[in-house]
Chains A and B, each alone.
Chain A
């Protein structure tokens, strides 16, 4: 099996994996970082969202061989103490219910604000459309993104 060197959360990690292994399973099973979640495996739900060079990607559908030298950030690397503006806004609005989709929601929202610091309601809806929440926390997510965008 081939070896890969990943740049993840500011560190360099060596892994041995099948070349088609999705980044999601590399993160969860090989690097044992459990904040990134599995929901559908086919880019339909967004639970597995991480950043690749600051952009949101669905790690379930990104084979490790395609990652290259990109910088990966997972929820664990978004901030040291949970004080990223998006995380703080999430706490302020008590967004989560079960919480399972929320790592992906937070990573997707953070990437949105990276590229658009004050998105309109419609821009938020479009940008977040790929992230499912079965518990139905959508409106609090929207409010939290607005709060976070104001504190940027």
Chain B
């Protein structure tokens, strides 16, 4: 008898009980899909970030943080310009859209690196990509092409046009971002169909980078009795009549980026700038319907972005560790170097462990995204090679084809009609895990650094207190950690059990 030998059917039956491979072993699942070139891209991204940190960020980030504290309205346009010179706003954009074509997977370790020195800049760059990742799942190739090529051109000109994502309203934070809660929300934004477009009225708050951005992706809802099925995404460039910025929030940390009020007063948005309309007949008449489309598009976005928050949290955890380590190697306590006290060694080891552990979590989420999330099509091997090796002129040539309705139709079929519940749950669930685990441990590390550094840690010039202030944000935005826990419960825990209800 050889009990370890079994038939495929028996194995499949066993594998379907308990966590399935594709649910919890993303790193194994991705293994055979990523090419050697991806490894090189990740390495390049990390090296570039380290070089930037050494040459640009380290010498000035603390002084800049002070400047922001002194004047909350101060904008770091020069740093954006500098980051643009290093092509940071198109580094991970495919050649197809005029970018530098590093693999999107490399974005996350890149953000960790930048955030290990200054999470304000990490946040600023990441939010821009979040904007890009918000247009992408609409599969509106025309809008995507126009925005991304403008970003590339403006970056080359030395005035990068950033993208923001504008959802939160004064009375709807968690509700506006969580598909299961949208219909209970007290959103006040309104949109009205007029000839050739829409009239948008809205007041949005806490919008990252908005006064530093050029392209504003604004969410509104067409049917106030069923917002969960009627999300509409508008693309509004700066200079549009009726668009203005209100208060610039006075934040505790992450001061390198802003959080602003974005006001639309009777803004006319032409139809061509509506990147997604869930009540569009394509979605409405499709098998899965508009509600599915809204839930999926929101999950595509937050799955990409919450992994990024994980990378920022990990970066801060690492920054805190590096600052504490450096301090412990110089500081004498009781006549001995701090790093030679055993209790300090254990604190430092725990901090390092936390960094390694959180990195694994956010990378699992990134893998899930590449396997089953918003970027899954780009990383099918043939498409990946195609995008990598075809020359730039080729993509310019096929541009008109890409902008056609047919391409949008095919992509939407692929991304919405053929998208499965399982795929959505895995990407969204892991993204929530990444978001709340990394931010929680980021805070743990910031606290440990402060513990170890005593009075010196409280000083701004030591850097550790900045980690503490900055990391708190990671627990709040992209839906609070608590709402993310609920989402993870919905996607990964409760989903197998029919009797489970959510937000009751």
Does A associate with B in a complex? no
